[in-house]
Chain A
Amino acid sequence: MIKVVIIDDEPLARSMVSEYLQQYQEVKVVQECGDGFEGLKAIQQQQPDLIFLDIQMPKINGFEMLELLEQPPAVIFTTAFDAYAIKAFDIHAIDYLLKPFSKDRFDQAMQKWMEQYKTGTGQEQVKKMLEQVPTSPAYQHRIVVKVGGKIRIIPVHDIQYLEAADDYVKINTAEGYFLKTKTMNYFEQSMDPHQFVRTHRSFIVNVQLITRIDPYEKDGHLAILKTGGKIPVSKTGYAKLKQVLGL
């Protein structure tokens, strides 16, 4: 039996998918979810073989939901008009259904998934896309992390600085730090460069919190934050900082 979870905030859109699935006798829709939180829980509990996932949903979008999963299941994305997401799918050769979709098109997507299901290649593509593509078209205004079993949404203005830590990035806030499996490059590119400056290979700092920049050793500087934190600034980082701060 193949377990399927459908995640979409519109009930009729979900019923459309389950209707098309009725013909597939080996497939069972184990749960339907109206938002990403529910979806996340359902995926963890049900361990589905395939999910149908909408992009625009309440609270967290489809990408953000997938990011929170250590082993995301195989996905068929369904979307009406998310130019941004569609571009990401095309770049990473990921199949998606544009609403409204025909039964033929749906069958085609299922066919493709079946083939990948045997070889297990589909999940890899999705994983790769999530690593490279920011979760929203504009500069990130929030970062979604998982702490223990709970999901935290961190508004970016709460972030003091980011620090590289092996395979993770440490997100430092007033409440302490959160870890996220992403690269420094990913954050550097997806955050507003007027607010967050990569001052060092291992540091990205929220410039609004900088109170002072002191010289430090040869060629280097230290950015002193309101909170008392000291962030290393390299030679190129100093040039970037000066530009953003208009010095």
Chain B
Amino acid sequence: MLISGFVKGTVLHTSPFSVNKLRLAFIAFWFIWTALQAVVVQRLGFDWSISIADGITFNTILAIACFLVSNNLRYYLPQQDRYWYILLWSIGFSAVSIFTGRWVLMRFFGDHPFYATFLVDSLLIRSAVAFLMIGCMATISVLWYTVQERQENEQRKTDAERLAREAELFNLRQQLQPHFLFNSLNSINALIGSRPDEARLMIQQLADFLRGTLKKDDQQWASLSDELKHLQLYLEIEKVRFGHRLLTEVTIAADTEGLTIPSLLLQPIVENAIKFGLYDMTDSICIRIQTRKSVGQLVIEVQNPYDPATATAAGGTGFGLNSIQRRLYLLFGRNDLLLTKAGSNLFTTTIIIPQQND
């Protein structure tokens, strides 16, 4: 049994006997049961010495049997459909216990005329009691170990989920678009010849933006004003790239400045709006960003113009909002924090950030 338990890869659980409270309960139970049995035997007309010896012998052997059964189950927990194992064990263990008990007591008190007959006569009832007790112990043990196994599985599952979530959040945060980086470098390259001062400024902005992205990689939350500064750098760079085609309008409600937002969440949304707008329209476009506070939540709206006729062909909701949706879900466990609305020629992306301290 022991070997097969290991072969099956059963995890070694802590036995119920290792818990102090339970150990005490078992010992108390043993005392009470021993005392009861001694009293019953004594009242049938035997000496106290015989009665107590009877109680102690049988109950000690039963206790050992219970311990063995429970320990066995620790190494080998039968599966759902194999509960008859427990039944067989209980029968086997109780039979062995009773015969051992009888043998021990016969050695000491075999010459007592009435006790020997009494011992033989009472074997059936003793067996029944032993079977009940060992059966109970086995059942308790099975329940005990099953609960433990379930808890361990649960623990492992939550651990795995937590790890996966952290890794995923990390990946979702650091999404620097190579397209953006290379095009910015290309713009700088063009500026170096004709307008070196502007080239220098853009290099500075790009460096600050990249530094901000790297710094924010290891933090999950940022203040809205920090995020807006970071966003501003990004917008300045994009304006150099796209020239007069890109206009922006940022309106920040005063009571939102101190609120918090998951770091690097806003910039990809604006980036998405810019791409969506610029690649869907040939005229100049204006990106509008607005923040407001509503029932303890930070609400940010990003608007871009679009052409409903061709945008439906592009899948409707724009390019890269899936990772934003996923990130909000991982952080808050909610799927209703990112909303999009396709108006007649304005596309609105709204994010709602629940505030932790409210």
Contact = CB atoms under 8 A, between A and B. Distances in A.
Given A37-B282, A81-B179, A16 B313 contact: no
Interface string B178-202: 1100110111111101100000000
B182 A80 contact: yes
B281 A58 contact: yes
Contacts of B243: 10-12
A58 B279 contact: yes
A59 B280 contact: yes
Nearest to A35: B282
Contact of A59 (B183, B190, B245, B279): B279
B159 to A, nearest CB: 36
A229 interface: no
A155 B179 CA distance: 26
B314 A141 contact: yes
B190 A80 contact: no
Contact of A58 (B190, B194, B278): B278
Contacts of A19: 190, 193-194
Contacts of A98: 182
Nearest to A57: B279
A16 B186 contact: yes
Contacts of B114: none
9 contacts: A10-B186, A12-B191, A15-B190, A34-B245, A35-B282, A59-B281, A99-B185, A99-B189, A142-B314
Given A9-B242, A100-B189, 10 more contacts: A12-B240, A57-B279, A59-B281, A59-B310, A100-B185, A100-B188, A141-B314, A142-B313, A156-B313, A157-B312
A17 to B, nearest CB: 9
Interface of A: 9-13, 15-16, 19, 34-35, 37-38, 56-59, 80-82, 98-101, 141-142, 153-157
Contacts of B282: 34-35, 37-38, 58-59
Given A141-B314, A142-B314, A100 B182 contact: yes
A12 B186 CA distance: 8
A13 B183 contact: yes
Contacts of A34: 245, 282
What are the 8 A-B residue pairs with the smallest beta carbon separation, nearest first?
Answer: A155-B313, A80-B182, A99-B186, A16-B190, A142-B313, A12-B190, A100-B189, A100-B186
Contact of A16 (B178, B189, B279, B280): B189
Contacts of A99: 182-183, 185-186, 189
A78 to B, nearest CB: 9
Interface in B308-343: 309-310, 312-315
Contacts of B292: none
Most buried by B among A38, A57, A59: A59
B183 A153 contact: no
Contacts of B280: 58-59
A10 B279 CA distance: 12
Interface in B228-284: 240-243, 245, 278-282
A153 B189 CA distance: 35
Nearest to A155: B313
A15 B187 CA distance: 9
A157 B191 CA distance: 43
B279 A56 contact: yes
Contacts of A56: 179, 279
